[in-house]
């Protein structure tokens, strides 16, 4: 397939801070080309303080058909959406936007669904399991919602921002989910998931106590760079089944592509 670039090219930026670590521009652009669309996905490095100005410019850029959102903007960009899915409304966060017929934004969030799909394909069983999830940010909130829908016996949430963690616990508990506050000790859990950026930068501590990992656990991490984050490297050395951020992203990518293509459906 050939990726075109001409005056008729449509654009779908991916916005984040930082942005150099993302892998989606090439893969998503190729996926659009395979679907017969002259659409490019391009990275945009925008700091939180500059996001309102950038979003205002994006709204009036007529060859921008959609937007992919990564850290730390998933909560903030939700506020620019005129309409959202039920999932995004509960999460108060989005990771992909497309145009409504009137040019306003419609948003959805696929991080959780993509993560759970990837984990299940790798042999993870959430139903009846005891799950520790570290991180209650944009990705963590979405993953928590999707994991809760799988029927775990216990879902423990840990985040350094306890107010954010407790807000998520309260909202999930209101749906009947067996959710509690957790810590960084993975002992006693069947599934251990990292939804924080820890592991992206050299010298980052592990998001959980590595000494508490055990071979019977399923361990997942959202970090995409390095390809094998330190948590996953430690878990694999013990014989754990694992998924990386790249495994998650493959599933999320397919969901986002279908969402963006549906604008023409």
Residues comprising the chain, all counted: 265
Per-residue model confidence as pLDDT tens digits over 50-104: 999 999 999 999 999 999 999 899 999 999 999 999 999 999 999 999 999 999 9
**Residue ranges with strand state E in the chain:** 10-16, 39-45, 66-69, 83-84, 96-99, 105-108, 130-134, 154-158, 179-181, 191-194, 218-221, 241-243
**What tokens does 178 get?**
């067996």
Which 3 state secondary structure label does DSSP give 155? strand
Per-residue model confidence as pLDDT tens digits over 171-229: 999 999 999 999 999 999 999 999 999 998 889 999 999 999 999 999 999 998 899 99
Which 3 state secondary structure label does DSSP give 217? coil
Mean pLDDT of 6-10: 95
Which one, of 205, 199, 198, 166, lies nearest residue 182 by Cα? Answer: 166
Report DSSP state, residue 8: T
Per-residue model confidence as pLDDT tens digits over 104-153: 999 999 999 999 999 999 999 999 999 999 999 888 999 999 999 999 99
Per-residue confidence (pLDDT) for residue 23, from 0 to 100: 78
The answer to whether residue 167 scores a pLDDT higher than 70 is yes
Per-residue confidence (pLDDT) for residue 265, from 0 to 100: 42
The catalytic residues are 74
Sign of CA pseudo-dihedral 64, 67, 73, 77: positive
Give every strand in the sheet of 10-16, ordered side by side: 39-45, 10-16, 66-69, 96-99, 105-108, 83-84
Per-residue model confidence as pLDDT tens digits over 235-264: 999 999 999 999 998 999 999 999 999 865
Per-residue confidence (pLDDT) for residue 264, from 0 to 100: 53
């Amino acid at each position: 397939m050939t990726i075109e670039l001409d005056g008729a090219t449509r654009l779908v930026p991916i916005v984040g801070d930082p942005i150099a670590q993302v892998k989606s521009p090439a893969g998503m652009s190729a996926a659009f080309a395979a679907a017969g669309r002259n659409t490019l996905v391009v990275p945009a490095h925008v700091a939180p303080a500059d996001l309102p100005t950038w979003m205002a410019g994006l709204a009036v850029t007529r060859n921008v058909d959609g937007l992919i959102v990564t850290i730390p903007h998933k909560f903030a960009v939700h506020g620019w959406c005129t309409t959202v899915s039920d999932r995004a409304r509960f999460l108060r966060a989005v990771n992909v936007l497309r145009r409504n017929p009137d040019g306003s934004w419609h948003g959805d969030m696929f991080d959780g669904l993509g993560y759970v799909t990837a984990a299940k394909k790798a042999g993870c069983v959430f139903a009846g399991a005891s799950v520790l999830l570290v991180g209650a940010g944009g990705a963590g909130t979405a993953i928590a919602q999707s994991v809760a829908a799988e029927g775990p016996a216990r879902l423990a949430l840990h985040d350094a921002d306890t107010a954010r963690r407790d807000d998520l616990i309260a909202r999930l508990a209101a749906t009947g989910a067996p959710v509690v506050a957790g810590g960084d000790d993975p002992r006693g859990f069947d599934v251990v998931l990292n939804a924080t950026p820890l592991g992206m930068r050299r010298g980052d501590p592990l998001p959980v106590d590595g000494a508490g990992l055990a071979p019977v656990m399923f361990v997942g991490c959202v970090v995409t760079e390095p390809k094998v984050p330190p948590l996953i490297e430690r878990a694999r050395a013990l014989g754990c089944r694992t998924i990386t951020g790249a495994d998650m992203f493959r599933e999320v990518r397919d969901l986002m592509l279908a969402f963006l293509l549906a604008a023409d459906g």
